């Protein structure tokens, strides 16, 4: 492990914030929305989880240290805020039909996640060169981003090979891109910014 990367603590802070804002809080909100029968928030969080699965795919790609992981991570930071605000019908339903406290917490999380992802996208853009240069990928500047995913592997996939987990990540990425392409090229033209097809 290289210890001469000055921004290493910030990389680890970013991973911890991602777990908090992109996993723990939306999971709590989803359970709360089910208890409160807030269907608008349930549907929006369902869309969020499908979109944010790209981050999980990115973790598996980073375990195998594939350069494409830097691109998928960058794209996830862009797609997540879009998924949270894109749907006109869900925005209206959440605004007018959700209980006060749930709406307050959900809206606060939505704004905080949006700001976090935008800042993360700007930061990720600085490291996109890692995806296009084999020499850059070997430097501490790029490899520092693999440390947290490799720790995740030690905890949850200790007996699995990195290459196999990376293969699962590639399969997941292909399915994700196909589904997203189908939505953008076909479904979006039919239903527009409405989450529920008419």
Q: What count of other Cβ atoms lies within 10 Å of the Cβ of residue 156?
A: 9
Chain centroid offset of residue 108 CA: 18
Show the CA angle centred on residue 94, arms to residues 99 and 96, nearest 5°: 70
DSSP letter assigned to residue 139 = S
CB-based contact 149:62 (threshold 8 Å): yes
Give the H or E element holding residue 61: helix 39-63
pTM above 0.85, yes or no: yes
Per-residue pLDDT of the chain in tens (198 residues, 90 and over written 9): 445 788 999 999 999 999 999 999 999 999 999 999 999 999 999 999 999 999 999 999 999 999 999 999 999 999 999 999 999 989 999 988 778 899 999 999 999 999 999 999 999 999 999 999 878 888 999 999 999 999 999 999 999 999 999 999 999 999 999 999 999 999 888 887 887 765
């Amino acid at each position: 492990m290289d210890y001469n990367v000055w921004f290493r603590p910030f990389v680890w802070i970013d991973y911890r914030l991602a777990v908090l804002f992109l996993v723990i809080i939306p999971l709590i909100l989803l359970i709360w929305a089910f208890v409160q029968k807030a269907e608008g928030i349930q549907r929006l969080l369902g869309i969020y989880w499908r979109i944010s699965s790209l981050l999980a795919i990115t973790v598996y790609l980073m375990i195998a240290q594939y350069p494409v992981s830097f691109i998928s991570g960058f794209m996830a930071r862009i797609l997540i805020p879009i998924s949270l605000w894109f749907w006109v019908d869900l925005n209206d339903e959440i605004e007018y039909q959700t209980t006060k406290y749930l709406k307050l917490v959900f809206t606060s999380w939505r704004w905080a996640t949006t700001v976090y992802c935008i800042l993360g996208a700007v930061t990720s853009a600085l490291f996109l060169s890692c995806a296009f240069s084999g020499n850059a990928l070997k430097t501490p500047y790029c490899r520092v981003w693999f440390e947290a995913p490799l720790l995740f592997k030690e905890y949850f996939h200790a007996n699995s090979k990195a290459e196999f987990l990376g293969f699962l990540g590639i399969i997941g990425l292909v399915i994700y891109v196909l589904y997203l392409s189908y939505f953008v090229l076909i479904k979006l033209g039919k239903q527009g910014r409405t989450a529920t097809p008419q």
